[in-house]
Structure 1
Amino acid sequence: MSDAPSATEATGSADAFYALALQDLQARRQALESEISDLQRRRDQLEQELTDDLPGKTDAVARRLKGFQDYLVGALQDLVSSASQMELVVQPLVVQPSPLDLEQAQAAAGENADPAPAAEPATGPAGAAAAFAADTDLIRDRLGRFLEEPDFYADPWQLRRSLDPRHAPLLEDWFLSQGGRGAQPSGGNRSRNALITAAAIAILGELYGDRFQTLVLASRPERLGEWRRCLQDALGLTRDDFGPSSGIVLFERPDALVDRADRLEERDELPFIVIDAAEQVVEIPVLQFPLWLAFAAGPGELGDEEDLL
């Protein structure tokens, strides 16, 4: 009797193998279909969430921005009211005459004048105006030039943009009436204020060379970033010109700025302090320094919303 499997047995084994293979394929197909169904449900769920949530979230953000705008407008109105009286209180806060005041007073008096006894520092507008009295012609000449066509290829630290005719009287008042320390109305936005500041830096650079350093105070990084970009463009600078050992230093905190200004004066250098219009308060220690310019935002000028939008 032969041990070889019969034809019937061989056919049965093949059928069993095919049945197992088909069953395995069907199981895999079902698993894939289940995964595809899950992914489709997740896709549909995400699309529904985006459709339902986006209008509500947009409306909530709009309401928050409107509420913050109303609060900020009120705060800026208070700042303008305070800034209008700032000049009246600046001078009494200066206990001693600054090195800049002494140097300019001596230049105005003339080198051949007879020595006079030390006098109390002047506290009125006439005393402030004396700070740049000897440089009146130069200041007015440069402000006139800044109104002409821009010089895009001027040397670094020279103004490469044109100054708005409305802002030249602002700078003339700051130099010749306030003596380089006081508040002035904002130009309307941060880029215009940076251009005004760049014009002041260009003039101060002619007067004092590298003896002064500009310190900009704006309490948020995005504001400081805008200051850096605008000053870099207006004065033809590079990133290397912004830093502790460079010509312009940016600060988020007033205490750090005051510390830096103190160290500059210890080295017989001049700090030029610039305060962003969004800052609601001018710290009293800032007022002791010989050069500072605070921009006072107008009632209709946007502050934080400008940073967000």
Structure 2
Amino acid sequence: MSDEAPTPETWQDLALSELRQQRDALQSEIAELSNRRDQLQQDIASSFAGQSDSIARRVKGFQDYLVGALQELAVSAEQMDLVVQPLVVQPSPLDQVAAEQAAAAAAIPTAPVAPTGLFSNDEDLIRERLASFQGQPDFYADPWKLRRSLEANGAALLEDWFLNQGGRGAQPSSGSRNRNALTTAAAISILGELYGERFQTLVLAGMPERLGEWRRGLQDCLGLNREDFGPNSGIVLFERADALIERADRLEERGELPFIVVDAAEAAVEVPILQFPIWLAFAGSPSELALEDDLL
């Protein structure tokens, strides 16, 4: 056997052979890892798609359930008898005579009863002004006079508020603060003709942004300046109900009339507000209130 030392060419061949073996092993591992990666991606994609489909089916099912429930509730509400039927009690013989006498008295014709309320004597003026507000807008009217055109639903709202509610009650919101400001401006214009400078408008809206919308809306509709909004001016804006109530009390002590307006975003009307003779609260719809919550 020969004990000759390997030549450089032999060492080079051995090194290249080992490198080739390592390269083949690495390529095999890389190929295996690539296959596992592709499999994992397929599993993730199929799992996510399955979960998405499942979630979508659940959401769609819950939506269908809500729609069906609301439709059933609406049908039930329409069919519900909301008038409580009085309990019929058979009168005694002694009461029968009194009942016959009362029926005979009721059969006698009587004069129609005139409507009651703070504005019952001003019905003609109120109807005339509401009709004129629905015509062409008077952009150059004097300050404190309505300069914009009032929509028919706003005129109907004010007619009900003035003549049926006597200037005290809640009315549905017109859908936006600008429209509610327009309706309020029409009311202020009419109240100005009836009471002159003896009344002051107090607006309650719980945030500065809302009060800013009220100020801009009333300023535009009535041709006012910024100086017309302040403690000693015709319109005062409030974020808190207690401050508004205190101001209204002071006005009444001086013999003046507070006209209180409550923004549609207010959750409720404070009980002390109900004691004042003129107040208008706008009741916001659920969608309108939800939009207000989203803007917060």
Corresponding residue SS for 1:197: helix
The one-letter code sitting in structure 1 at the alignment partner of 2:161 is W
User: 1:160 corresponds to which residue?
Assistant: 147
The one-letter code sitting in structure 1 at the alignment partner of 2:220 is D
CA contact (8 A) 1:221 1:252 kept: yes
Tell me, yes or no, if structure 1 residue 140 matches structure 2 residue 127. yes
Give the deviation of 1:304 after TM superposition: 2.1
Q: What's the CA shift string for 1:238-263, capped at 9, x where partnerless?
A: 00000000000000000000000000
User: 2:212 corresponds to which residue?
Assistant: 225
Extract unaligned runs of 5+ from structure 2.
1-112
Give the TM-score normalised by structure 1: 0.57
Report percent identity of matched pairs: 71
User: 2:274 corresponds to which residue?
Assistant: 287
Tell me, yes or no, if structure 1 residue 263 matches structure 2 residue 250. yes
Give the deviation of 1:210 after TM superposition: 0.2
- The 5 A counterparts of 1:1-309 are 129-302=116-289, 303-305=291-293, 307=295
In 2: Cα distance, 1:199 partner to 1:130 partner: 19
CA contact (8 A) 1:128 1:179 kept: no
CA contact (8 A) 1:128 1:178 kept: no
Question: In structure 2, do the counterparts of structure 1 residues 233 and 260 end up closer, same or farther at CA, with 3 Å as the change threshold?
Answer: same
In 1: Cα distance, 2:114 partner to 2:269 partner: 22
Q: What's the CA shift string for 1:87-145, capped at 9, x where partnerless?
A: xxxxxxxxxxxxxxxxxxxxxxxxxxxxxxxxxxxxxxx99842111100000000000
In 1: Cα distance, 2:239 partner to 2:227 partner: 19
Corresponding residue SS for 1:210: coil
CA contact (8 A) 1:223 1:307 kept: no
In 1: Cα distance, 2:209 partner to 2:182 partner: 17
Give the deviation of 1:306 after TM superposition: 6.7
In 2: Cα distance, 1:163 partner to 1:173 partner: 15
Q: What's the CA shift string for 1:178-229, capped at 9, x where partnerless?
A: 0001000000010000000000000000000000000000000000000000
CA contact (8 A) 1:212 1:271 kept: yes
In 2: Cα distance, 1:183 partner to 1:127 partner: 23
Question: In structure 2, do the counterparts of structure 1 residues 196 and 190 end up closer, same or farther at CA, with 3 Å as the change threshold?
Answer: same
In 2: Cα distance, 1:249 partner to 1:186 partner: 21
Q: What's the CA shift string for 1:7-49, capped at 9, x where partnerless?
A: xxxxxxxxxxxxxxxxxxxxxxxxxxxxxxxxxxxxxxxxxxx
Corresponding residue SS for 1:249: strand
In 1: Cα distance, 2:256 partner to 2:115 partner: 20
The one-letter code sitting in structure 1 at the alignment partner of 2:153 is R
Corresponding residue SS for 1:300: helix
CA contact (8 A) 1:129 1:175 kept: no
Question: In structure 2, do the counterparts of structure 1 residues 172 and 271 end up closer, same or farther at CA, with 3 Å as the change threshold?
Answer: same
Question: In structure 2, do the counterparts of structure 1 residues 128 and 259 end up closer, same or farther at CA, with 3 Å as the change threshold?
Answer: farther
Higher relative contact order (CA 8 A, sep 6+): 1
In 2: Cα distance, 1:220 partner to 1:171 partner: 26
Corresponding residue SS for 1:237: coil
Give the deviation of 1:300 after TM superposition: 2.2
Aligned length: 183
CA contact (8 A) 1:149 1:162 kept: yes
Extract unaligned runs of 5+ from structure 1.
1-125
User: 1:48 corresponds to which residue?
Assistant: none
Give the deviation of 1:167 after TM superposition: 1.2
